[in-house]
Structure 1
Amino acid sequence: MQKKVQLILVAVFLCVSAKVNAQDDLSLQAILIDSVLTKNANAIVRSEDIVITINSINSVTVKTKRVVTVLNKYGNPYADLSEYYDPEVKIKKVQAIVYNALGQEVKKIRRKDFKDRSVYDGGSLIDDNRILYFEHTPTEYPYTLVYECITENKSTAWIRPWFPIGGVYLSVEESKYTVINPKKIPLRTNEKQFNGYPVDVKRGDQELTYKLSRIAAIEPEQKGPPIRELVPNAKIALKDFSLVNVEGSAMDWKSFGKWQYDNLVSGRDELSTETIRKVDALVSDAKTNREKAKRIYEYVQKKSRYVGIQLGIGGWMPMLASDVDRLGYGDCKALTNYTKALLDSQGIESYYCVVWRDDYKRNIDPEFASLEGNHVILNVPDGEKDIWLECTSQTLPFDFNDSTTDDRNVLVVKPDGGEIKRTKKYMPEENTLHTMATISLQPDASIEAEVTSVAKGLQYDWRYLTKLESVKDQKLYFKEYWDHINNLNILSMDLEDDKDNIKYQEKVKINARNYATKAGSRLLVIPNVFNRLNGKMTKYKDRKTPLVISRGYVDTDEYIINIPVGYSINKLPEVKVFETVFGIYKNSLEKIDESTLKYSRTLRINDGSYPKEKYEEYRQFMSKIRNADKSKIVLKQQ
């Protein structure tokens, strides 16, 4: 790949006219890029200069100049030409210039060329966030984009952080980040992953600078941590700040959480007398607070729907509970606050919580208080345990964290201040899939089967939404899930979502032609019909990152296999057992009678973070399982 890129650059340099105009910039010639930086790269940040000037607690100016060379189509996302703004943010300058491989100017993009639209995502009803953007369509590669922008923000509760390495397959020639603080407003810094990187830090009386140079592109590694946990980054926060004209002061999560409660949450929980009467009747015969909370949660699910609210301080402050009650909609903040108000009406303690919602268990940083998170959920203390409620979902069961909010630090906003808590972690034995099947093998090598699967824990989360799909899509789901079965026909499906016990059951009847392989008078059969580990793992000569298994689980399978009349198995395979620190696998085949076999399989995977040296052992463990899952038995015709 590296040699190919270099040859292309040389060819372009030799073949394209070298006429130089005043507006050209020969320093941007792609041929000048060090081969160390082009290796494995889709794009290179030639230079990035971010200057943040803190004018006051009500004003911060951000000047950005970014030069990016894009080597191929996969690097286009790094040549971003967009800027978000709202009534608090003023874009004072925005422009860009596109250069070809020789540093010759191709296009000048002025502010008037940028398009302006609402950041309306289809789920937002009220939204004053806007985006200024230009859609550049490259005609050749490589090209270089020079982007300049100046913004002024009246809100200082969030200061743009420094993330010099913005993604994988991206090299960085130079990135510089400067904070100028002429009024010496007290600020806090949080620096992560600086070790192992040549970060140059300069601290002055009124100025702080970070600089990073000559960083080769990072290739993602299978089962590795997200890039944000690998690369250097820094966050800045002011002790005294402003958020949409609401001033505050905080040094830690306790004080920052109290500010959020006092200024964003408190006083927004009033409900009408009529609504409180309805809730009283709803929970009148409930024996425990948990049962009351469950009824209220399900009441909210039936009554309301999610609609984004991103207007001014409303982007941070929930709607009034009375408005949600009247209108029947709200965003995550509003629906969480509304549920909290309903619980309050019954004397049930609950707390508004800020969380990072994603599949990668992103944490609210317990060591550095700042304006974080992208979602809100509700915490209901229940004795020594915690109930967690996802109030925006109309489908998730009560007290169930799905894989977007499980096992991570969240900020619990309380009247006396903020507290960091951790959401529920599901142990492997809680994330179960138990599959039972009766399989009839026919003399023509086809099969007929009835299969029942019961999923719990996060395995429930990974499957339960199938019930809401059309029959056509449900059949497609099973065909994709069992894509190793050729000629598969789905004859019937019975899907049951037991939300009270958080259990999802699938009963499916299938048939498939030519499942087994005929070889003369023999039939070659894979007894593991329904639950095989597929997909190979990459082998690395020099792995760079730790092995991360995000979530553990346990699969158990029991299949009764009826063999055709006139066939028998002479020799049963040995029991296979593989045990490692990552988990355990076992399969066995036993003979019930002359016409019946029983196949059993258990796979337990343990979650955790393991040293990079352990990856190869894990890869081999997975490889053994794949081979065992597709091992065949021989049935002989008598």
Structure 2
Amino acid sequence: MSLPMRFSSLFLLNTGICLTTALAAAAGGKEPHYPVATLAPALRENAHAVIRTEEETLLVKSAGRTVRTVRRATTVLDEAGANWATQLVYYDQLSSVSYLRGTVYDAEGQAVRQLRASDVKDYGLSDGFSLATDARGRVADLRQPSYPYTVSFEYEVVSDNSLFYTTWQPQSDEQLAVEQASFRVLTPASLPLRFQERHLPKGVAVAHSQQGDLQVYQWELTALPAQEEEPYGPPLSEMVPAVATAPTTFEVQGHRGSLTSWQDLGLWNYELNTGRDVLPEAVQARVAALVKDAPDERTRIRRVYDMLQSSTRYVSVQLGLGGWQTIPATNVSNTGYGDCKALSNYCMALLKAAGVQSYCALVRADEPDIRTDFPSNQFNHVVLCVPLTKAAKRDTVWLECTSQNTALGYMGSFTGNRHALLLTPGGGQIVCTPRYGAAENRRERRADVYLDAQGSATAMLHTRRTGLEQDQFSQLLHGLDPAQQKKRIAESLPLSNFSISKFALTDDAKAAIPTINETLGLTLPQFGTPSGRRVFVVPNLLSRLPAVSAPVGERQTDIWLASAFSHADTVRIHVPAGFQTESIPAPVKLTTAFGTYSTQMQTLPDGTLQYVRSLHMPRTRFPRTEYPAYVEFRRKINAADKAQLVLVKTES
């Protein structure tokens, strides 16, 4: 499920809308609330909206129940900040709401409108593949046609799911400033709070006190200017203040657990699903026959994985505890479908029948990696981990059980290069999923370009992509028909005038790492630029890396190069009869901490011109002071990628 950035933090809601006496009095316009004129100029700078006040409280009633109250007033400065005049609230069978209130104030701070039932729409939050889900959301909409104005929302939520506590991050969007925000947690001494402070301003720390029988933890932030993600910088969550919280003890629908360590969380998940991996006898017999002549452990795993992929499909069932407890393997065997938990559990059961031990693993997929130093439920996906215990060389095979076409052992960009929580009988263990660096993420292209005297050309290209470089193309191959594939490829080419004469995508099932091969025939009416007796040609056909802009003012964040890759291009230009080379680009070689780059052009014995380009980039991080050097590195690559050769017509 993908939602707009403003809605990425979901708030729980279940019942109706209440309007308070205080809000009604404010509607009379006798006392201004949040007049825009009182905003400090520094908070308006580079901001589309400003949180005037946010007061959030989490009350821990017991190990299985929490009450969360939020009061937030936000001044919307322009149309780009209008999402802050809406509120998406999530609810399900484990949550209920006490009230929701809302009011709009004009620029002078006078109340002009209150939240009405017609301002709120209720939606089922279907993700497009769930067979059954109790997830629903209500969107309260108080957007106004003219700016600026201020919107206030208040609500109280009761939750019977204490596995998740709040992560407080009031500055949750770019171009959002914060005037004042506070966060309180009240919890019994028998249920002490676990928390982690992140990027708090100097001098800001928790205030710890006691209120009756409750321990009180409180944080307050003021005057936070708007932030903006910088090119090749970290995500916003690495820049803005936040406090993550988690329970020590929790309970979900009668299932109690401890969350003081990764081992505890893994043990709760493991025990919740114990005994749900039983297979029908007929299926066990089928597996035994399937692997009886398998020569080794890896072959047994491959055969079982092929069986899983050919007989199941991903359909999510999320009802109550179904977010954590799997459908039994027998059900998956009978129906042929399941969610990530169910399919991983089913594959684990199939492997067990084949004599192979495996373990389910929790992972945060398609998002930044978990914080391993703060044990808490940070996961959204389940995969399967298979240690090779009988192989000559110890190894681990990872299986993505929700896909019908993902290669054995491949995690890709979805779940690779991150940490996972292995669920074992002894509890949870933090482990690493497969890492994909420049050696695995390769793109190798060979092109033959046949040029005519007018500068037009035809080209035949063969491209081999491996690892993360092939992920997007694998989705095209397995998700679209050839005509749609060709259309997507055409839209991605950095060419202004061309047509495709030949096209094919294939995968290489025998490759050690997933590989996609592409064959592409192109007609290029304006590949070269004629001028009198000369034709000017850029030999770099498709691999031009753009330059990056220098920062306006001082850069604030580190340089994050998140994707490692290796590109190699060989372009052979077949010169038309009656032409010879007048000049070719000088060779370039750049060796830096950011990566290495080289180009070279030479004339082959048959008169063909051969252009060779290579670019290797690591996955790494540099201090912000290195950004000017990185800008220069990219500028030099961009200039070299656009370098021209000159052909001249010989005298007759």
Could you give the per-residue CA deviations for residues 600-635 of structure 1, whole angstroms, max 9, x where no partner exists? 111111110111111221121111111111110110
2:227 is paired with a residue whose SS is coil
Could you give the per-residue CA deviations for residues 79-130 of structure 1, whole angstroms, max 9, x where no partner exists? 3412211122111101211122222223211457523232222211111122
Q: Is the Cα contact below 8 Å between 1:497 and 1:503 reproduced in 2?
A: yes
The structure 2 residue matched to 1:523, chosen from 535, 546, 563, is: 535
2:218 is paired with a residue whose SS is strand
Q: Is the Cα contact below 8 Å between 1:564 and 1:595 reproduced in 2?
A: no
CA deviation after TM superposition for structure 1 residue 262, in Å: 0.8
Where does structure 1 lack aligned partners over 5 or more consecutive residues? 1-19
Q: Which residue is 1:258 aligned to? A: 267
1:199 is paired with a residue whose SS is coil
Q: Please give the alpha-carbon distance, in whole angstroms, between the structure 2 residues aligned to 1:204 and 1:608.
A: 42
Instruction: Confirm or deny that 1:474 pairs with 2:485.
Output: yes
Structure-1-length-normalised TM-score: 0.93
Q: Which residue is 1:568 aligned to? A: 580
Q: Which amino acid aligns with 1:365?
A: R
Q: Which residue is 1:246 aligned to? A: 255
The structure 2 residue matched to 1:49, chosen from 52, 55, 60, is: 55
- Are residues 209 and 467 of structure 1, via their aligned partners in 2, closer, same or farther at CA, if it must alter by over 3 Å? same
Q: Which amino acid aligns with 1:201?
A: V
CA deviation after TM superposition for structure 1 residue 594, in Å: 6.0
Alpha-carbon RMSD across the aligned residues, in angstroms, is: 1.8
Q: Is the Cα contact below 8 Å between 1:527 and 1:632 reproduced in 2?
A: yes
CA deviation after TM superposition for structure 1 residue 200, in Å: 4.2
- Are residues 482 and 177 of structure 1, via their aligned partners in 2, closer, same or farther at CA, if it must alter by over 3 Å? same
Q: Which residue is 1:552 aligned to? A: 564
Instruction: Confirm or deny that 1:511 pairs with 2:523.
Output: yes
Q: Please give the alpha-carbon distance, in whole angstroms, between the structure 2 residues aligned to 1:105 and 1:220.
A: 34
Q: Is the Cα contact below 8 Å between 1:585 and 1:625 reproduced in 2?
A: yes
Q: Please give the alpha-carbon distance, in whole angstroms, between the structure 2 residues aligned to 1:459 and 1:355.
A: 22
Q: Percent identity?
A: 31
Once structures 1 and 2 are overlaid, which stretch shifts more, 84-93 or 377-386? 377-386
Q: Please give the alpha-carbon distance, in whole angstroms, between the structure 1 residues aligned to 2:321 and 2:293.
A: 40
CA deviation after TM superposition for structure 1 residue 58, in Å: 2.1
Q: Which residue is 1:203 aligned to? A: 208
Where does structure 2 lack aligned partners over 5 or more consecutive residues? 1-25
Instruction: Confirm or deny that 1:235 pairs with 2:222.
Output: no
Q: Please give the alpha-carbon distance, in whole angstroms, between the structure 1 residues aligned to 2:304 and 2:124.
A: 35
Instruction: Confirm or deny that 1:415 pairs with 2:420.
Output: no
Q: Which residue is 2:504 aligned to? A: 494
Once structures 1 and 2 are overlaid, which stretch shifts more, 468-477 or 592-601? 468-477
The structure 1 residue matched to 2:130, chosen from 105, 124, 131, is: 124
Q: Please give the alpha-carbon distance, in whole angstroms, between the structure 1 residues aligned to 2:632 and 2:253.
A: 54
Q: Is the Cα contact below 8 Å between 2:446 and 2:570 reproduced in 1?
A: yes
Q: Is the Cα contact below 8 Å between 1:354 and 1:376 reproduced in 2?
A: yes
Q: Please give the alpha-carbon distance, in whole angstroms, between the structure 2 residues aligned to 1:102 and 1:294.
A: 68
Q: Which residue is 1:217 aligned to? A: 226
Q: Which residue is 2:192 aligned to? A: 186
2:412 is paired with a residue whose SS is coil
Structure-2-length-normalised TM-score: 0.91
The structure 1 residue matched to 2:289, chosen from 281, 305, 313, is: 281
The structure 1 residue matched to 2:546, chosen from 529, 534, 537, is: 534
Could you give the per-residue CA deviations for residues 522-571 of structure 1, whole angstroms, max 9, x where no partner exists? 00000111222135444343111110011211111112110110000033
Q: Is the Cα contact below 8 Å between 1:95 and 1:111 reproduced in 2?
A: no
Q: Is the Cα contact below 8 Å between 1:62 and 1:151 reproduced in 2?
A: yes
The structure 2 residue matched to 1:322, chosen from 313, 330, 338, is: 330
- Are residues 143 and 197 of structure 1, via their aligned partners in 2, closer, same or farther at CA, if it must alter by over 3 Å? farther
1:618 is paired with a residue whose SS is helix
1:165 is paired with a residue whose SS is coil
Instruction: Confirm or deny that 1:156 pairs with 2:162.
Output: yes
CA deviation after TM superposition for structure 1 residue 514, in Å: 1.5
The structure 2 residue matched to 1:382, chosen from 381, 388, 393, is: 388
Could you give the per-residue CA deviations for residues 114-168 of structure 1, whole angstroms, max 9, x where no partner exists? 2323222221111112212223443112221100000111221211221121121
Q: Please give the alpha-carbon distance, in whole angstroms, between the structure 1 residues aligned to 2:582 and 2:138.
A: 73
2:147 is paired with a residue whose SS is coil
Q: Which amino acid aligns with 2:274?
A: S
Q: Please give the alpha-carbon distance, in whole angstroms, between the structure 2 residues aligned to 1:31 and 1:391.
A: 56
Q: Is the Cα contact below 8 Å between 2:28 and 2:111 reproduced in 1?
A: no
CA deviation after TM superposition for structure 1 residue 197, in Å: 4.5
Instruction: Confirm or deny that 1:461 pairs with 2:471.
Output: yes
Q: Please give the alpha-carbon distance, in whole angstroms, between the structure 2 residues aligned to 1:499 and 1:96.
A: 57
CA deviation after TM superposition for structure 1 residue 21, in Å: 5.9
Q: Please give the alpha-carbon distance, in whole angstroms, between the structure 2 residues aligned to 1:51 and 1:451.
A: 60
Q: Please give the alpha-carbon distance, in whole angstroms, between the structure 1 residues aligned to 2:584 and 2:438.
A: 31
Q: Which amino acid aligns with 2:398?
A: W
1:335 is paired with a residue whose SS is helix
CA deviation after TM superposition for structure 1 residue 416, in Å: 0.5
Instruction: Confirm or deny that 1:356 pairs with 2:367.
Output: no
Q: Please give the alpha-carbon distance, in whole angstroms, between the structure 2 residues aligned to 1:66 and 1:440.
A: 65
CA deviation after TM superposition for structure 1 residue 445, in Å: 0.8
The structure 1 residue matched to 2:594, chosen from 566, 576, 582, is: 582
Q: Which amino acid aligns with 2:115?
A: I
Q: Please give the alpha-carbon distance, in whole angstroms, between the structure 1 residues aligned to 2:138 and 2:247.
A: 28
Q: Which amino acid aligns with 1:271?
A: L
Q: Which residue is 1:146 aligned to? A: 152
Q: Which amino acid aligns with 1:257?
A: G
CA deviation after TM superposition for structure 1 residue 329, in Å: 0.9
Q: Please give the alpha-carbon distance, in whole angstroms, between the structure 1 residues aligned to 2:630 and 2:456.
A: 35
2:448 is paired with a residue whose SS is strand
Q: Which amino acid aligns with 1:476?
A: K
Q: Is the Cα contact below 8 Å between 2:546 and 2:634 reproduced in 1?
A: no
Q: Please give the alpha-carbon distance, in whole angstroms, between the structure 2 residues aligned to 1:39 and 1:367.
A: 35
Q: Which residue is 1:448 aligned to? A: 458
Q: Please give the alpha-carbon distance, in whole angstroms, between the structure 2 residues aligned to 1:153 and 1:320.
A: 27
Q: Please give the alpha-carbon distance, in whole angstroms, between the structure 1 residues aligned to 2:595 and 2:379.
A: 33
Q: Which amino acid aligns with 2:422?
A: V
Once structures 1 and 2 are overlaid, which stretch shifts more, 147-156 or 101-110? 101-110
1:570 is paired with a residue whose SS is strand
Q: Which residue is 1:102 aligned to? A: 108
Q: Which amino acid aligns with 2:282?
A: E
Instruction: Confirm or deny that 1:632 pairs with 2:644.
Output: yes
1:349 is paired with a residue whose SS is coil
Could you give the per-residue CA deviations for residues 348-378 of structure 1, whole angstroms, max 9, x where no partner exists? 12111111112x5x22322222222111111
Q: Which amino acid aligns with 1:385?
A: D
- Are residues 390 and 449 of structure 1, via their aligned partners in 2, closer, same or farther at CA, if it must alter by over 3 Å? same
- Are residues 437 and 628 of structure 1, via their aligned partners in 2, closer, same or farther at CA, if it must alter by over 3 Å? same
Q: Please give the alpha-carbon distance, in whole angstroms, between the structure 1 residues aligned to 2:555 and 2:223.
A: 21
Q: Which residue is 2:354 aligned to? A: 346
CA deviation after TM superposition for structure 1 residue 401, in Å: 1.3
Q: Which amino acid aligns with 1:629?
A: D
Number of equivalenced pairs:
614
CA deviation after TM superposition for structure 1 residue 199, in Å: 2.5
Q: Is the Cα contact below 8 Å between 1:155 and 1:245 reproduced in 2?
A: no
Once structures 1 and 2 are overlaid, which stretch shifts more, 339-348 or 520-529? 339-348
CA deviation after TM superposition for structure 1 residue 282, in Å: 2.0
The structure 2 residue matched to 1:400, chosen from 400, 406, 410, is: 410
Q: Please give the alpha-carbon distance, in whole angstroms, between the structure 2 residues aligned to 1:527 and 1:318.
A: 56
